[in-house]
Structure 1
Amino acid sequence: MRRTLVAGSVAAWLVLAAVMLPVSVAQSTIFQGTPTPDPDDQTQVMAQLRADYPRVDGSTSAYPLQMTIACHVYAVPCSWQENPFAEDYYGPAFDADITPELLDRLWGIVHSGTHGSYMNLIAGDADIILVAREPSGDELTAAADLGVDLDVRPVALDAFVFLLHVDNPIDYLTLDTIRAIYTGEMTTWAGAGMYQPGLDALINPYQRNPNSGSQELMLRLVMGDLSMINAPDMILPGMMGPINVVGDDPYGVGYSVYFYAVHINAHPNIKLAGIEGVRPTPKTIADWTYPLTTEVYVVVRDDMPPDSTTVLLRDWLLTEEGQAVVASSGYVAILPKED
C-alpha cells in the first residue's frame, strides 16, 4: 500500500499492509505497512542495535527524537537540559553515571540539518536520517546523479507553524492572508486585521534559506506555484533565526515547525498563529484538523541490506514499541496505539 508524498490522513494508517513493496522516492511515493522486526523480540532488537548502531543524522528539529531513540536503545536515562545560552537540548546530563565511552557515543550524535543530512545520506556518510520533510528536487537530483534511491517513510507527526509576536493582536491567519503577505500583495497588518492608530504597522515577513526544511515546507504547503517576495535581507539562516527575530519584532511574522518552536526553542515573546481558525496543538496535529499538519520521515538508502541494523532500526521505529518511544520524545506518534 502506498500514497502520495505530503498529503496524508490518520485513517490511512488504520489499515496496515502486510507487505511493503520497494518503491523509489523519485516516483513521489512513501511507504506504509507492517514493519519487519518481531515486536515480541525487543531484547534481541536492542542488543543488535547496541552492537552496531547506525550512523545517524537529521533535521535540527528532529535531534531530540534522535537522542530519545539512542537513549532508549542504550538504556540511558535522558531528559531535557536547560541551556541559558542557546537552545535547550535533550540527552544525558553531563554528570550522568555512565561510562565515558557511552557518553562520548551519545554526544557524538549530531544533526547536520535537513538538507545537510539528505546530502550526507546520499553520499554514504550517514546510514539513516530523521527529517522534517521529504527530499527536495535538488536532493533528488543529487541522488539520481549518484544512482541512489531513497526509502522514505513517515515516523511521526509535526506541524508547520507561523510565528507572531505576543503583542500582535492577531491570533489567527488564513492561508490566503499568508500568501498575500509573502507575495507582497499585503504589506500592512491593517490589511490582515490589525490597526493601531499612529502606526504604519508594516508587516516584516521573514523567510528561511533555500533548501532548509522550513523553506521547503513553506513552498510546498503554502505557496505552491506562487513566487515569494525577493527580500534577501529578510532571509534568516538556522532555525533559531525566526524565533529570535520575531520575538523582538511586534510586526514580524515567520515560520518554523511545532516541535522546535514549542519544545526546543520556546520563546516568551512568541505565539503560534491559528490557521484557518485552528490552533496547532498535539490534539489538532494528531487528528489532522490543523491544516498544516506534517510528517517527520525516517529515510535510508534503498540499497541498504535488509539484515543491516540500519533497516532494523527503521523498521523497529514503526512498531508499536518504537512509536511509544517516538511519543515519549514529545512528537505525535503516527501509528494509532492498539487497545
Structure 2
Amino acid sequence: MKKKIIIGCFIFAAALLFAFFNINNKTGIPDRTGSWAHINQSVERSGDWKKIVEDSPFQLGEKSVRGSWNTPDGNGKEDYYEIKFGTYPSIDGSTVAVPMAAEFARQHLGLSDEDANDFACFSTTHYAYENLIMKRPNTLGMFRSTSTFLDENHPVDLIIVTEPSDEEIAMAEQNNVELTIAPVCYEAFVFITHKDNTVESLTVEQIQKIYTGEITNWKEVGGQEKKIKAFQREKNSGSQTAMENMVMKGIPMLPPAMVKVAEGMGMLVDAVGEYENSQSSIGYTYKYYIDTLYKNENIKVLKIDGIAPEPDNLRNKKYPFTTNYYGVIRKEDEQKTGGRFLEWMLSPVGQKCIDQAGYIPIN
C-alpha cells in the first residue's frame, strides 16, 4: 500500500513539473503528448459552427485548489486546481477521434477551442482500450488557461476508437470485462502512395499480394518498373488491426523484419510521401486522418476496385474498406455516465455534433 502511494505521488509530481513548464504556452496548440504527437494540423471550430446542444445534463463537477507553485517570473505564487468529472464522462480514444471529443466539449461544456483541445487529449488506441478495461484514468487532459488538472483518480468511462484487436478482446476476457461496442460514424480505411505514382487503383487481391510478398514491383499492377516499398504499422495500432481484420482477413502478412514498420500514423504518412521514395511506397491509414489531422502534399489515395472512398460510397458500403469509429464502454456501465453519453452520441443531436466535427454520421 505504501509503495502504491509513493508511486502515485511521484506520477502526480511529474505531471506538475510537466504542466509548470507548459502552462504558459498560450498558442492554442496542445502539448505534443499522446494523440497530439500525431497531429500536424490545427483543430478548431469551422466558420459556420453552430451551437447544437442546449441545457446539457453532462457537466464537469467541483473545482478546488490543489496547491500552488512559483510564478514563471519567480516573484510570487499562483494556485493550481483540480476539477472533478461530475456527470461528464472521462473519455479516451484513438487519434482520429480527437476532433469529435473536442466538439463534444465545446457543445456540452461551452469550452473555447484552446480548452477543448487541452481537454481532448487521448492516449491512442491500444492504451485507450487498456485504460477502459483496467479502469485506469486518462491523465493527459488539463486546462492550461486556468492551471486546472482533471481528476487523476477517475477511471475512463468511454473510449472513441477503431475496432479492437484480438489482443484487446483477449485482455477484456481475461479481466472479466464485457464491452459494449457501438458504431458512431462511417470511415474509410485507405491506401496511400506517392502522388507521382502512375497507379490510381488497386484490387483487394493485389493489395493482399503486395503485403504477402507475392507482388513486389509496381509494374505487376500496371505501374512503372519500380520495387514496391510497403509500410506497415505497429501491432495493436488501430490501422494495423483494420489491415489484419478487414483487408488481409487471416492471410499472413510479411513479418515486421521483412517490411518497413512505422511507429505512428504521421510517421507512415511522411514515409510514403518522402521525395526519395517517389512512386515506390505504399501504406495505409484512415481518410479522416489525412484529410483533417495530418496532411502531406506528396501523397494520394488509391481507389480500391476502381471505387473512391467518397461519403456516398461509405454510406452505401460500395467502397470495399468501409469501416467505423466506435463508442466503447464497459457493459456494466450502460446505465452510468459512459452508457448515457454513448446513448446521446447515437441520438439525432449527437449525430449532428459528429457531423459538424467533419465525420460521416452513422444515422
Q: Same fold (TM over 0.5)?
A: yes
**Partner secondary structure for residue 206 of structure 1:** strand
| Alpha-carbon offset, residue 193 of structure 1 | 0.6
| Alpha-carbon offset, residue 76 of structure 1 | 3.2
Pair 1:47-2:52 in alignment: no
Quote the Cα distance in structure 2 between the aligned partners of 1:160 and 1:141.
Answer: 24
Quote the Cα distance in structure 2 between the aligned partners of 1:272 and 1:145.
Answer: 39
Pair 1:110-2:121 in alignment: yes
1:272 to 293, 301, 311: 301
| Alpha-carbon offset, residue 43 of structure 1 | 4.0
Pair 1:326-2:360 in alignment: no
* Contact 2:334–2:340 (CA under 8 A) maintained in structure 1: no
Output the amino acid matched with 2:228.
Answer: I
Quote the Cα distance in structure 1 between the aligned partners of 2:358 and 2:334.
Answer: 31
Which residue of the partner structure matches residue 70 of structure 1? Answer: 105
Cα distance per residue 1:190-215 (max 9 Å; x no partner)? 001112xxxx5000000010111001
Quote the Cα distance in structure 2 between the aligned partners of 1:329 and 1:43.
Answer: 17
2:158 to 102, 106, 128: 128
Which residue of the partner structure matches residue 269 of structure 2? Answer: 243
Q: Which has the higher helix share?
A: 2
Which residue of the partner structure matches residue 193 of structure 1? Answer: 222
Quote the Cα distance in structure 1 between the aligned partners of 2:203 and 2:317.
Answer: 17
Higher Cα Rg, which structure: 2
Change (3 A) 1:143 1:231: closer
Quote the Cα distance in structure 2 between the aligned partners of 1:58 and 1:206.
Answer: 24
**Partner secondary structure for residue 290 of structure 2:** helix
* Contact 1:49–1:313 (CA under 8 A) maintained in structure 2: no
Quote the Cα distance in structure 2 between the aligned partners of 1:230 and 1:305.
Answer: 40
| Alpha-carbon offset, residue 106 of structure 1 | 5.3
Cα distance per residue 1:187-240 (max 9 Å; x no partner)? 100001112xxxx50000000101110011001111112111124350111110
Quote the Cα distance in structure 2 between the aligned partners of 1:145 and 1:322.
Answer: 33
Q: Larger relative contact order (C-alpha < 8 A, sep ≥ 6)?
A: 1
Normalising by structure 2, we get a TM-score of 0.70
Which residue of the partner structure matches residue 80 of structure 1? Answer: none
Quote the Cα distance in structure 2 between the aligned partners of 1:260 and 1:61.
Answer: 6
| Identity percentage of aligned residues | 33
Normalising by structure 1, we get a TM-score of 0.74
Which residue of the partner structure matches residue 14 of structure 1? Answer: none
**Partner secondary structure for residue 344 of structure 2:** helix
Quote the Cα distance in structure 2 between the aligned partners of 1:203 and 1:192.
Answer: 11
| Structure 1 residue ranges (4+ consecutive) displaced by more than 3 angstroms after TM superposition | 47-51
Which residue of the partner structure matches residue 212 of structure 1? Answer: 237
1:157 to 183, 186, 201: 186
Cα distance per residue 1:38-69 (max 9 Å; x no partner)? xxxx645x133344221110001111111111
1:56 to 79, 82, 91: 91
Task: Give 1:285-304 correspondences, 5 Å limit.
Answer: 285-304=314-333
**Partner secondary structure for residue 321 of structure 1:** helix
| Alpha-carbon offset, residue 252 of structure 1 | 0.1
Give the number of equivalent residue pairs. 264
* Contact 2:308–2:319 (CA under 8 A) maintained in structure 1: yes
Q: For the aligned residues, what is the CA RMSD?
A: 1.7
What runs of 5+ residues in structure 2 fail to find an aligned partner?
A: 1-52, 62-85, 137-155
Output the amino acid matched with 2:349.
Answer: E
**Partner secondary structure for residue 185 of structure 1:** coil
* Contact 1:183–1:229 (CA under 8 A) maintained in structure 2: yes
Change (3 A) 1:185 1:106: closer
Cα distance per residue 1:258-294 (max 9 Å; x no partner)? 1101111121111100001101122222222211110
**Partner secondary structure for residue 303 of structure 1:** helix
| Alpha-carbon offset, residue 75 of structure 1 | 2.4
Quote the Cα distance in structure 2 between the aligned partners of 1:153 and 1:231.
Answer: 31
Which residue of the partner structure matches residue 224 of structure 1? Answer: 249
